[in-house]
Amino acid sequence: MIEEHIATYREEAGELLAELETSLLDLEETPADQDLINRVFRAMHTIKGSGAMFGFDDIAAFTHEVETVFDLVRNGKMVVTKDLLDLTLKSRDHISALLEASAGCGEADKQTGDILIAGLRRLVPHPEATSAPSDTTIEPLSGAKQSGEVPEKTWRIRFYPNRELLLCGSNPVSLINELRSLGSCLATAHFDAVPLLDALVGEHCYLYWDIILTTIRDEAAIKDVFIFVEDDCQLSIEMIDDLSEDGDTGYKKLGEILVERGDLTPDVLSKVLQQQKPLGEMLVDKGAVTSDKVLSALDEQQHVKGNRQERATPDSTASIRVPAERLDQLVNLVGEMVTVQARLTQVSNTLGDATFISIAEEVERLTNELRDTALNIRMLPIGSTFSKFKRMVRDLSQELGKEIEMETFGADTELDKTVIEKLNDPLVHIIRNSIDHGIEKPADRIAAGKPATGTVRLGAEHAGDSVLITIRDDGAGINRNAIRDKAVELGMIAPHADLTDQEIYSYIFAPGFSMAAEITNISGRGVGMDVVKRGIEGLRGTIVVDSELGKGTVITLKIPLTLAIIESLLVKIGESHFVLPLGAVEECIELSRDDIRAAHGRNLANVRGRLTPFICLRDQFAIGGERPDIEQIVIVSVRGERIGFVVDFVVGEHQTVIKPLGVLYQDVKGISGATILGDGSVALILSPGDLTQKAKSAELDAV
Amino acid sequence: MGKLIMTADDSASVRQMVAFTLKQNGYEVVEAVDGQDALSKLSVKKVDMLLTDLNMPKLDGIGLIKGVRAGSLNKFIPIVMLTTESQDAKKAEGKAAGATGWIVKPFKPEQLIAVVKKVLG
């Protein structure tokens, strides 16, 4: 149980640290932003508070120091400076290291922490400022006892309304209900003031209440409940338990409670205590108090005891954490469901029974909704990844002596969790590249008539069922000819090949290709961009590079929203089915025998006057049988080029649940997975990029 | 069906804002342009709550509150008066006349809803 909480804390702390970093970096731009300062403070406060609760005393103690400084900032006693931000960012890293060290990986240096604390203390303007009684957080931590959050307290409230209360339109029940909304609440009504029937006025309120309330809210919040009736009632609010005495699960004796409430005098109590019967019974027998008063007091006793016994029940929140595997399992099941549903639809259409068809359609609608919902659960905003890069840009630009600003937009764009994770490495390489090769040194920039500070813009936006991620820099741009020369030098292209800009740019993604004159710490080993290409293609995504010499470069990644289920085009060759990702499909045209004859054995089709190369999938997969008289070409855009794939027959759109191929087939080029069709047969998912690459190299080999 | 709330105010814009806010939160609203209008409507229509301005022509808010409390149909409904901060004396007067609570003008929609929820329970 406790491990689970600790795991949750680690996760939460990780998120908080990420938020902290973002806020700090933003704070660097707008140092006076009170909102940001509060955010920094809150993040640290929570890390500290929960840290102490789960036994991360070192984290709590260290964070406390940083928090103390930011408390001064928050109260306007200190201003945000670059030194402060540097130290705080380093402190953030230290907290992160402490966190990792506690998980058993890595080691945190205590000395680093001490140095950071000393540095932070030096920044505090006046020595008296530290000792100033600043509301809550300055006193040292008392180990795990302090929860960091406001502790729950238990209050005893006696609400004795005036008889005319109802005539003012107030309703005691709704007041008590409002108290219930503040926390755990126990109300006892007292009937002893109710007169006999002939004296009773129906419009008067004769009842009064004892209420025991356990809440994290303070007395003012309780008083607020009674704000409209404070002149119409007698109200007493006392704190009876602040849950501060640890280990003591007992509570006051019944007699003590009654005496405290003023319902019984100590004399009477001590007299009655001489006897041996249960106290409550005895008191009632003696007529010292009425039985409902005793019951109410007993209630209080029970309530507080109960509270003290089960203290550490975590409260439920609006969101819950679920292990990722469970979500994956859910998505897998939904995938199965989609497959079965396709079968159901097919069978219903074959049988042609109207009732059955309408049921099948209903199931189809629900399944689609279920699929969207299930996939949505795994969607996360890409922003957390973005903030990591902000930090990277900051550190790298300092290292390289460049002035670079990072702008981001679309941080709340949502993508499948697995996709976001796999995007990380490619983005690191692209951004490193932009910083190292793209943005020039300040002096060069000024000479080129540009502002000294370069900008890298990282953005995300939705485009249909994909997300476009753009990395735009205003640096030197890509020298088309230099790349061409280099590619020729490396033997990647023939010296006189006629290539479009797109094709030339695509060589920067080739393995072993590097333009950096010297290998720096940051890039130049010729592995980076190759990783990018493989990473993005692994995500079924595409890369487009656009650049203008002297103005800058834009790299656009088009990534499908999810990896589990895709919209695709189902095609048929002979008896085999294949699917092509619909996102890349541009159009379908016919290919007749005449067309083939007219092309003189070359795989080129004339599409509205443009020659479009095509790949005959029947040959490619060595499928036997006669080619039909009229074949179909599915034209797909592959890295900006239009490539046709010849098939026998286009079946139509298909919801494809992607199943990975077994280990044996994992490295087969041209196939990226498989899916199960409605009739139970298997269709292979084609990878247009790989197929094109394969055809090109085959062509080159032939030459 | 949402609860029915009457808003009595001689300012059309205040009525509009109050009505809009309440309707958005699932309440039904009946409007009255002054105290007299409100009182005559309330004598025949049961509502769940009354929100009234204090300064109104014909019959002011205090008179309206007294009238409602003296009637029968809506005698026990919660009545919330809209006051300005300077009207502390009025607040007490309204309270004495039988108002349940008050909202200080200007107020935000959230505050209005909080008070309505509070008195409606």
- The whole-number pLDDT of residue A525 equals 45
Q: Which residue of B has its CA nearest to A230?
A: B101
* Per-residue model confidence (pLDDT) at position A275: 61
Residues of A in contact with B100 (CB under 8 A): 168-170, 228
Query: In the prediction, which pLDDT does A671 show?
Result: 84
Q: CB-side exposure of A703: number of CA atoms within 13 Å?
A: 6
**CA–CA dist A57, A49 (Å, integer):** 10
- B103 touching A, CB under 8 A? no
Q: Is the pLDDT of residue A84 over 70?
A: yes
Contact between B99 and A168 using a beta-carbon 8 Å cutoff: yes
Distance from C-alpha of A21 to C-alpha of B42, rounded to nearest angstrom: 59
CB–CB contact B118 A171 (8 Å): no
Residues in chain A, how many?
703
Binary contact (A169, B118; C-beta < 8 A): no
pLDDT at residue A107 in the model: 65
Strands B4-8 and A576-581, how do they pair?
Answer: unpaired
Q: What is the pLDDT of residue A128?
A: 43
Chain B contact for A231 (CB, 8 A cutoff):
yes
In chain B, residues with a C-beta closer than 8 Å to the C-beta of A226 are: none
pLDDT tens digit string along A450-487? 888 888 888 888 776 678 899 988 888 888 888 888 88
Minimum distance, in Å, between the CA of residue B14 and any CA atom of chain A: 23
Q: Is the pLDDT of residue A130 over 60?
A: no
Min Cα separation B33/chain A (Å)? 22
Q: What's the whole-number mean pLDDT along residues A108-112?
A: 75
Q: Burial letters for A140-178: b for 16+ Cβ neighbours within 10 Å, e otherwise? A: ebeeeebebeeebbbbbbbbbbeeebbbbbbbbebbbeb
Q: Average pLDDT for residues A284-288, to the nearest whole number? A: 76
CB contact under 8 A, A168 and B100: yes
Residue A635 pLDDT: 92
Residue A119, C-beta contacts closer than 8 angstroms, at least 6 positions apart: A87
Mean per-residue pLDDT, A349-362:
89
Q: Which of A34-48, A237-251, A345-359, B52-66 has the lowest mean pLDDT?
A: A237-251
Whether A171 and chain B come into contact, CB under 8 Å, resolves to: yes
Query: What residues contact residue A80 under an 8 Å CB cut-off, 6+ apart?
Result: A27, A31, A32, A37, A73
- Tell me chain B's radius of gyration from C-alpha atoms: 13
State which of A176-190, A240-254, A267-281 shows the largest mean pLDDT: A176-190
With pLDDT > 90 as the criterion, what percentage of chain A qualifies?
Answer: 4
Chain B closest-CA separation from residue A164 CA (Å): 9
Better pLDDT: A639 or B96: B96
Instruction: Name the pairing type of β-strands A404-409 and A454-463.
Output: parallel
Average pLDDT over residues B20-36: 87
pLDDT recorded at residue A133? 38
How many contacts (CB atoms, under 8 Å) link A and B? 43
With 70 as the cut, is the pLDDT of residue B17 above it? yes
CA distance A313 to chain B (A): 28
Residues 27-66 of B with CB under 8 A from A: none
pLDDT at A127 over 60: no
In the prediction, which pLDDT does A115 show?
Answer: 83
pLDDT of amino acid B44:
87
CB-based contact A51:A113 (threshold 8 Å): no
pLDDT band at B49; cut points 50, 70, 90? very high
| Beta-strand pair A379-381/A414-416 | antiparallel
- Look at residue A78 and tell me whether its pLDDT is greater than 90: no
* Residue A666 CB partners (closer than 8 Å, separation 6+): A660
| Residue A208, beta-bridge partner list | A190
Q: What is the mean pLDDT of residues A103-118?
A: 76
CB of A227 less than 8 A from some CB of B: yes
pLDDT tens for residues A158-173? Answer: 888 888 888 788 888 8
Tokens 């068809």 label which residue?
A357
DSSP A659: B
Scanning A130-169 for CB atoms below 8 A from B yields 166-169
Give residue A250's pLDDT band: very low, low, confident or very high (50, 70, 90).
Answer: low
* Segment A524-580, tens digit of pLDDT: 444 567 778 888 887 878 888 888 888 888 998 888 776 667 778 999 998 889 999
- pLDDT, residue A220, reads 82
pLDDT tens, residue by residue, A233-248 = 888 888 877 655 544 5
B78 → closest Cβ in A170, A225, A231: A170
Kindly report, residue by residue over A578-595, the tens digit of the pLDDT: 999 887 788 999 888 887
Domain B4-120 has CATH 3.40.50.2300: yes
Sorted by where each begins, the domain ranges of chain B are 4-120
Of the CA atoms within 13 Å of residue A469, those in its CB half-sphere come to 28
Can you give the pLDDT at residue B6?
92
* Residue showing tokens 């307290």: A153
Which residue in the set A169, A178, A231 is minimally distant from B79, CB to CB?
A169
Candidates B100, B102, B104, B111: best to mutate against A (most CBs of A within 10 A) is: B100
**pLDDT confidence tier of residue A52, bands split at 50, 70 and 90:** low
Average the pLDDT over A396-421 and give the result: 84
Give pLDDT tens digits for A189-203.
888 888 888 888 888
Q: Work out the percent of chain A whose per-residue pLDDT is above 70.
A: 86
Q: What is the least distance, in Å, from the CA of A226 to any CA of chain B?
A: 10
Higher pLDDT pick, B12 / A524: B12
Q: Which tens digit of pLDDT belongs to each residue from A481-508?
A: 888 888 888 777 777 777 778 778 877 7
* Whole-angstrom distance, CA of residue A39 vs CA of residue A42: 5
pLDDT score for A120: 81
Highest mean pLDDT among A163-167, A204-208, A568-572, A678-682: A568-572
Chain B interface disruption, residue of A228, A230, A232, most B CBs within 10 A: A228
Q: How many helices (H) and strands (E) does chain B have?
A: 5, 5
| Mean pLDDT (chain A, rounded) | 79
Residue A578 confidence (pLDDT): 93
What is the rounded distance in angstroms from the CA atom of residue A174 to the CA atom of residue A261? 24
A409 at interface of B, judged by CB pairs closer than 8 A: no
CB B18 within 8 A of CB B112: yes
